[in-house]
Each structure stands twice: as structure tokens, then as C-alpha cells.
Amino acid sequence: MKVFKFGGASVKDSKGIKNVANVLQEVGYSNTLVVVSAMGKTTNAMEIVVKNYLENPSEFQGALQDVKKFHNEILIDLFENERHPVFGAVKACFTELSSFFKINKSPDYNFIYDQVVGYGELLSTTIISFYLHDIGLKNNWLDVRNFIKTDNYYRRANVDWEKTQYLISKDFNQNVLNITQGFLGSDTNNFTTTLGREGSDYTAAIFAYCLNATNVTIWKDVPGVLNADPRYFKNATLLKQISYREAIELAFYGASVIHPKTLQPLQRKQIPLYVKSFLNPTEKGTCVSKGKNLEPEISCFIVKKNQVLISLSSLDFSYIVEENISEIFSLLHLYKMKVDVIQNSAISFSVCLEDTYNNLEKLLQHLKAKFKVLCHNNVNLYTIRHYTQDAITELEKDKAVLLKQLTQETVQIVTK
């Protein structure tokens, strides 16, 4: 059993969908599960729909219409006959979405977000499944929400592994080509949940773990795992083979090519992960697997933009001790902040974080009751794995360094 994952960039238009079919035909698709993300920037477009639904009703229908138009144009490119059943299936998805908006009574943004944004994946897989059928690639469309069960931590749900394993073992047919959605699950009340942005990789890993898959392949628009994001760094180099440990480290620090949660289930069963180019599917790409001597021999660079750096100090110059640190982390947890770097001294504590849930102002007000607070918005967090002094010097050139932290293998630098 193989698991393939195609992201939004690979299915951003009709040409991309046709290329997915070409990849399957070229590398083989028997006993394969294909996990697919929303098309192109659909998730971003759905987020605008949610925002307008809650905050700007006059723009709501227009935003929803933009999503419909985008998908309809792809349908027209792929299917000559507008009486093809796929048009009715896509229309049914939008009808179901519109019904949610009409009957919803919840004011909870995170709940609404998950019920709405997930339609991006439902639409993409519906269209792709019908297209593959039309060109002779028979397949079975699956609603991933019937297999992956989670808690109700909307927008970053936690998988209930026991229930998920049971459902996949009971109902999954491994002998056919299956198409399903990434990013999604459902809670005990069958409401849609999401696994966090870019969570389709994680979906692929969940299925691979539960199915004891032989391998997982993530198809990207890059040749594999690179030592740096070519959008921000020059002369990025392909890492042909790395260990699970190294891949987990890179993902943890923010390497966008692999979702942070993806590696753990694969590592537990030693399922190899391949990262390959959907433009050149026969090239080897990167293999992530078990091994002690698979660490890169070159420095690896990661950047996370639009971070927040908060520096705290005691109001009376007393020490920042365990009691204070415990309280700070309780507040970070309360306001759902994702912490990327921490640094503390005798009388100060700094933390670089992501304000995913837009709770920064609430957090700052809470902290100001007990601490002197300095906040820097829109900072950049750079991480260098296997750093050299030359790499650090080059990175810091022409930047204002706000925080710097070195360990044996990793340096992290926050800049403005």
C-alpha cells in the first residue's frame, strides 16, 4: 500500500489536475491512496469567506461567488459536457455550504472556520475523482471525516488514534485507487475539524500508519527537501537522504516542505517518506528514513515570517523564577500561542511566537498586570541547523538582531 499526497500547488488549475493523472500513470497507482489538498489558494479564499460572513456581510456573497467561479472555470476546462455529473456534485457541495451559513447559530470563529474551510478539499477531491474516472483511472472517493476522528480543538484538532485506527482497519479497501481529502477530520458530534494549516501531509502519515503502508510520497513543486527555501535564500541545495530525526528537527523549526506532525507516526513504524517533484516524477527526490549518519553535511536555513517577539521583565527587578515561568506558559497555553523560541535571564524572559488565533492583545493585557512588557510585531525568525560562523555572519548582514540563541547544532536569530 502506497500513500501519495498532492498539495494545493499541484492542483491549482486544470493543467495541474491533468498532471496529477500523468504522475499516477507514470509511477503506478495500484493499491494507492491519494490525499489531496484544496486547489491553489482556495483555503485563503475560504478564510475570506469566513471573515466576511462574521464581520462584513455586504462582501460575503461576493467572496463566496469568487470561490464558485474559480472551481467552475476548472470544471469547464476539464469536462466538455456541462451535463456531466461532476457539475451536479460540485453544486451539491456549495448548496451544503450555503445551508450551513443559513442554519449556523454559533458565534465561535474557530468552529465556523472548520465547517467552511474544509469544503476546499471536498471540492478538489470531487473534481479530481470524476476526472480520473473519465480518463480511465477508476477510483474510490472517500470522505476522510468518516475515518479520521479528533477532539473538538477546532483549527488544530488532535487525532483520536484508537478510533481512527479502528475505522480505517474496518472500512478501508486497500485493493483500489482511493482519493481522499487532506487537512480534515471530524469530532464525536461529526462536526468537521481541521488538523492545522498545511495539515494534508499529516493526513497522509495518519493513513500510512494505520494501513502499515510501504511508503509515503509528498509531491511538491520543488525537487525534494532543500537546505533552504529558494524563495528567500540563494543557491538552495537538494538533500538526497536525511534521517527521521533530522527531518523532525527541520519541520519543528518551520521548514515548510514537511508538516511538523507528519514524521512521528512514520518514524514509529519506520515507513519511508519521499519528497519528490510532480514536474519530474521519475527523479529520486529526497528520502527520509531510519539511519544514524543521514544528517546534512551543509547548513540548513529556515525562516518564519510575521512572528511576534515578547520580552518580559519583573516590575520590581526581582528574579524571573519557576513560579513566574509557569504562569507565563499557562497564559501562552490559554491564548493558544505557538511558541518557537524562549530565552530567559535572571530578571527577563523573552518568547518568539505565532499569534495563530489573534489573541495577542488579550495576552499582552494579561501579562502587563504583572510584568513590564515590550512587544515587537512582524519580526522574522531565522534558524540555521548545522551552522557555521560564516553562515551566521552572512545571515545577520544588514539586519537588526533582537534575539540570538545558540545550541550545539542550531542557532536561532530574531530580526526586525
Residues within the annotated binding site for ATP?
231
Which strand (E) or helix (H) includes residue 328? helix 322-334
- Residue 318 phi, psi dihedral angles, 5° rounding: -80, 165
Rounded Cα distance, 227 and 112, in Å: 37
Q: CB burial class (10 A; 0-12, 13-18, 19+) of residue 306?
A: exposed
All three cell numbers of 412: 536561532
Rounded Cα distance, 240 and 223, in Å: 10
Cβ atoms < 10 Å from Cβ of 293: 6
- CA distances to 12, 119, 186, 267, 279 from 221, rounded to whole Å, are 11, 23, 30, 24, 7
All three cell numbers of 322: 519557576
Q: List the binding residues.
A: 231
Q: CB burial class (10 A; 0-12, 13-18, 19+) of residue 10?
A: buried
First vs last Cα of the chain: how many Å apart? 47
Q: What is the torsional sign of CA 245, 250, 251, 252?
A: positive
